[in-house]
C-alpha cells in the first residue's frame, strides 16, 4: 500500500472510531432509557437493566457502523479540502478514482467488522436476550404480586396477598378468576408458592377453598383442598418463550435448516434463506456508503466556504439509498422468492458512485491546447 493510501486510511480510521463511539453511545443510551423505565417499573434490579442493555449493543453497533463510515469519509475529505491537502493531491495527478481507492479499502474493513457482527455476535446476543426475557417474565412476584393490595395483572384476574414472607411464601392469598363466561371462581388459601416450570410459572396453594359460581343456573360449588396447582403462566401470559426468531439463529444454521429448527421457528426454508441473504447484504452498505460520500465530495472544487453543497448531495444520496433498501426489504418480506432484491441497493449505490467518479474525473481533465498555444 502506497504512502498516500496509508495516510488517507489512517485519517479515515481515526475519525471513524470517534463517530462510531458517539453514534453508538447516543443510540445505546436511548435504548437503555427505555429498558430502564420498563424493567425498573417491573421491579427488576439495576444489574438486569445493565445486562439487557449490553445484550442490545451488538445490534446497535451493526446499525450504526455504515452511518459512522459515511460520516467519517465526509468529515475527512472536507477537512483535507479545507487544509488544501486535497488540492495538492489532485494537482499532483491523483484522479478521483485514485483517491477513492483508500476509501474502498476503509469500507471493506468496516464491512469485515459488520460480517462478524451480523453472522455471529448479533444472533448470539439476540438469543441470549430472548432467553433472559423469558426468565424475567416468569418472575411474577417482582412484576405484580404486592402484599396488602388488590392487583389485576390481566383482564378477569384479581389477586390479593396479605403478606409475602422472607422465604417467598404468599400468606393468606385471594385469587378471583372471571375469565370464563360460564363460571367464576374464587380461590382462597392460607399459603401459596410460585413454582417455575417449562410451561410457565405455577401457583401452588395449600389449605384453601375454591368457590365456583355458574351464572347460568345460579349454582355455587364449594371445594376444599389441601393443595391445588393453578396455571399462573397461562392465566396472565407469562409462560416461557415459544417459537424462536430467525434473528436468533447463527448464519451457519440458515444454510440448510433442519426439521427441528423449522419447527422451533414455525417457518420455512425460504424464510431462512431470506434471512441469510439479508445478513449477507447488510455489510455491503458500509463500503457503498463510504464510496458515496467520497464520490459526492469529489464533484466540487476548492472553496474557502467548504464543500457544504457536496455534503448535502451525499446526505440526500444516502437517504435515497436507505429508502431503496426499505422498499427492497418490504418486497422480500412479502415474497421470499425475491431474495435477490436485498442486493439491489448496494448495486445501485455502486453504479451511482461509478458515474459520479467518472464525471468528476472528466471535469478535472485539462482542456486541449489551441493551435496558437501549441505553436507558442
Give per-residue pLDDT as tens, 329-348: 889 888 888 888 889 999 99
Tell me if 119 sits within 8 A of 279, measured CB to CB. Answer: yes
User: Phi-psi bin for 266: left (phi > 0), alpha (psi -120 to 50), beta?
Assistant: left
Phi, psi angle pair for 220, to nearest 5°: -130, 125
Please state, in angstroms and rounded to a whole number, the distance separating the CA atoms of residues 205 and 228. Answer: 5
Q: Are residues 10 and 35 in the same domain?
A: yes
The answer to the question of residue 179 being in a domain is yes
Together in a domain, 105 and 211: no
pLDDT tens digits along 259-302: 888 888 888 888 888 889 999 999 999 999 999 999 988 886 55
What's the pTM? 0.71
State the residue range of the domain holding 71.
3-137+244-363
Whether residues 119 and 255 share a domain: the answer is: yes
Residue where one domain finishes, among candidates 175, 208, 236: 236
Q: Are strands 150-154 and 202-214 parallel, antiparallel or unpaired?
A: unpaired
Secondary structure (H, E, C), the chain: CCHHHHHHHHHHHHHHHHHHHHHHHHHHHHHHHHHHHHHHHCCCCHHHHHHHHHHCHHHHHHHHHHHHHHHHHHHHHHHHHHCCHHHHHHHCCCCHHHHHHHHHHHHHHHHHHHHHHHHHHHHHHHHHHHHHHHHHHCCHHHHCCCECCEEEEECCEEEEEEEECCCCCEEEEEEEECCCCCCEEEEEEEEEEEECCCCCCEEEEEEEEEEEEECCCCEEEEEEEEEEEEEHHHHHCCCCCCCCCHHHCCHHHCCCCCHHHHHHHCCCHHHHHHHHHHHHHHHHHHHHHHHHHHHHHHCCCCCCCCCHHHHHHHHHHHHHHHHHHHHHHHHHHHCHHHHHHHHHHHHHHHHHHHHHHHHHHHHCCCCCCCHHHHHC
Q: In the structure, what pLDDT confidence band is assigned to residue 366 with cuts at 50, 70 and 90?
A: very low
Q: Does the pLDDT of residue 38 top 70, yes or no?
A: no
Report pLDDT for 90. 74
Among 177, 202, 236, the domain boundary falls at: 236
Q: Are residues 120 and 187 in the same domain?
A: no
pLDDT in tens, 231-264: 876 666 554 455 778 888 888 888 888 888 888 8
Separation in Å, CA 169 to CA 119, 141, 162, 206: 45, 10, 11, 11
Taking the C-alpha atoms of residue 204 and residue 189, their distance in angstroms, rounded to an integer, is: 10
Structure-block grid coordinates of residue 24 = 453508538
Total domains present in the chain: 2
Q: How far apart are the first and last CA of the chain?
A: 41
Q: Which of 185, 211, 236 is the last residue of a domain?
A: 236
Pairing mode, if any, of strands 219-231 and 202-214? antiparallel
Q: What is the pLDDT of residue 269?
A: 87
**What is the structure's pLDDT at 283?**
92
Q: In the prediction, which pLDDT does 290 show? A: 93
103 shares a domain with 252: yes
Least confident of 57-71, 162-176, 230-244: 230-244
Edge-to-edge strands of the sheet including 170-177? 150-154, 157-164, 170-177, 184-195, 202-214, 219-231
In angstroms, the CA 239 to CA 185 distance is 22
Do 123 and 208 fall within a single domain? Answer: no
- Which residue, 265, 178, 254, is CA-closest to 215? 178
pLDDT at 375: 43
pLDDT at 72: 94
Residues 124 and 201 in one domain: no
- Tell me what pLDDT residue 199 has: 66
Residue 161 and residue 220 in one domain:
yes
- Within-domain flag for 371: no
Same domain, residue pair 108 and 166:
no
Instruction: Say whether both 110 and 18 belong to one domain.
Output: yes
Q: Give the position of cell 463517530.
A: 19
Give me the pLDDT at residue 118, please.
Answer: 92
| 375 is a domain residue | no
56 and 148 together in one domain: no
- Based on the fold, state whether residues 282 and 216 are members of the same structural domain: no
C-alpha cell read off for 185:
371462581
Cell digits of residue 300: 466540487
**Residue 162 lies inside a defined structural domain of this protein:** yes
Query: Quick check: is 372 in a domain?
Result: no
Amino acid at each position: 500500500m502506497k504512502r498516500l493510501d496509508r495516510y488517507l486510511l489512517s485519517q479515515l480510521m481515526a475519525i471513524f472510531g470517534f463517530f462510531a463511539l458517539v453514534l453508538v453511545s447516543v443510540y445505546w443510551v436511548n435504548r437503555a432509557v427505555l429498558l430502564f423505565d420498563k424493567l425498573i417499573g417491573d421491579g427488576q434490579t439495576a444489574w438486569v437493566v445493565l445486562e439487557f442493555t449490553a445484550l442490545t449493543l451488538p445490534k446497535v453497533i451493526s446499525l450504526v457502523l455504515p452511518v459512522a463510515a459515511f460520516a467519517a469519509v465526509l468529515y475527512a475529505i472536507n477537512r483535507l479540502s479545507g487544509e488544501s491537502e486535497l488540492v495538492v493531491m489532485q494537482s499532483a495527478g491523483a484522479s478521483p478514482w485514485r483517491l477513492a481507492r483508500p476509501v474502498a479499502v476503509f469500507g471493506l474493513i468496516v464491512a469485515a467488522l459488520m460480517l462478524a457482527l451480523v453472522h455471529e455476535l448479533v444472533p448470539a446476543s439476540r438469543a441470549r436476550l430472548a432467553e433472559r426475557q423469558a426468565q424475567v417474565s416468569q418472575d411474577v412476584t417482582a412484576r405484580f404480586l404486592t402484599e396488602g393490595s388488590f392487583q389485576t395483572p390481566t383482564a378477569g384476574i384479581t389477586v390479593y396477598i396479605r403478606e409475602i414472607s422472607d422465604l417467598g411464601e404468599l400468606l393468606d392469598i385471594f385469587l378471583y378468576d372471571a375469565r370464563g363466561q360460564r363460571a367464576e371462581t374464587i380461590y382462597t388459601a392460607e399459603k401459596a408458592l410460585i413454582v417455575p416450570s417449562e410451561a410457565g410459572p405455577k401457583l401452588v396453594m395449600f389449605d384453601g377453598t375454591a368457590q365456583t359460581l355458574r351464572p347460568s343456573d345460579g349454582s355455587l360449588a364449594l371445594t376444599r383442598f389441601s393443595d391445588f396447582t393453578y396455571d399462573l403462566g397461562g392465566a396472565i401470559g407469562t409462560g416461557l418463550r415459544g417459537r424462536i426468531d430467525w434473528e436468533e439463529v447463527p448464519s451457519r444454521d440458515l444454510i440448510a435448516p433442519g426439521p427441528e429448527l423449522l419447527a422451533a421457528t414455525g417457518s420455512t426454508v425460504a424464510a431462512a434463506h431470506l434471512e441469510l441473504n439479508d445478513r449477507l447484504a447488510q455489510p455491503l452498505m458500509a463500503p457503498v456508503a463510504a464510496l458515496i460520500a467520497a464520490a459526492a465530495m469529489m464533484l466540487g472544487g476548492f472553496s474557502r466556504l467548504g464543500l457544504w453543497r457536496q455534503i448535502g448531495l451525499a446526505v440526500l444520496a444516502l437517504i435515497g439509498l436507505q429508502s431503496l433498501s426499505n422498499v427492497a426489504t418490504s418486497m422480500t418480506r412479502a415474497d421470499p422468492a425475491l431474495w435477490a432484491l436485498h442486493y439491489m441497493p448496494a448495486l445501485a449505490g455502486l453504479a451511482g458512485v461509478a458515474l459520479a467518479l467518472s464525471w468528476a474525473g472528466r471535469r478535472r481533465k485539462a482542456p486541449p491546447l489551441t493551435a496558437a498555444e501549441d505553436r507558442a
